[in-house]
Structure 1
Amino acid sequence: MSGREDRIYEEAAALWRELYGEPPPVRADSRMMLDIIMKSLPEKPYDRMASPYLRPSLIAGPKAVSAH
């Protein structure tokens, strides 16, 4: 593994240990660990909020549904 891949693996393993209180699976790579972690999270809609760092034209929100 490259240095970058090693760092990603270490971060994924630390996240795994924090969430599950146990070492990551022996055969799991960082991609597999992150995939398992993400799938275990509840689904939430994406709602982008206002940001002082973005122009208003770059901020997206849900499209309004017309009532007619």
Structure 2
Amino acid sequence: MPGRDERIYDEAAALWRQLYGEPPPAAADGSVILDLILDHLPGAEYERLATPHLRRSNITFPRY
């Protein structure tokens, strides 16, 4: 069974090939490949719920 780092590299390399249609950078390990992929994603938008009609205790936020 391959080690953890090898599995991460395999998954990151497969994702790179799906996104860019070319082999991943040769000198990069799995975490570097994932960093390169994530750096090109747009920033997440954040909408703050603001209303004068609700108290903070009445607002339910998702659990993570």
Q: Alpha-carbon deviation of 1:29?
A: 0.7
Gaps of 5+ in 2: 53-64
- 37, 50, 63: which is aligned to 1:64? 50
Q: Alpha-carbon deviation of 1:46?
A: 5.1
Amino acid across the alignment from 1:64: A
Q: Which consecutive aligned stretches of 4+ in structure 1 deviate over 4 angstroms post-superposition?
A: none
Q: Which residue of 2 aligns with 1:41?
A: 41
Gaps of 5+ in 1: 48-61
Tell me the distance in 2 between the aligned counterparts of 1:65 and 1:30.
Answer: 44
Q: Which residue of 1 aligns with 2:16?
A: 16
Compute the TM-score of the two structures, normalised by the length of structure 1. 0.63
Compute the TM-score of the two structures, normalised by the length of structure 2. 0.67
Q: How many residues align?
A: 51
Tell me the distance in 2 between the aligned counterparts of 1:23 and 1:13.
Answer: 7
Two-structure CA RMSD over aligned residues (Å): 2.0
Q: Alpha-carbon deviation of 1:45?
A: 2.2
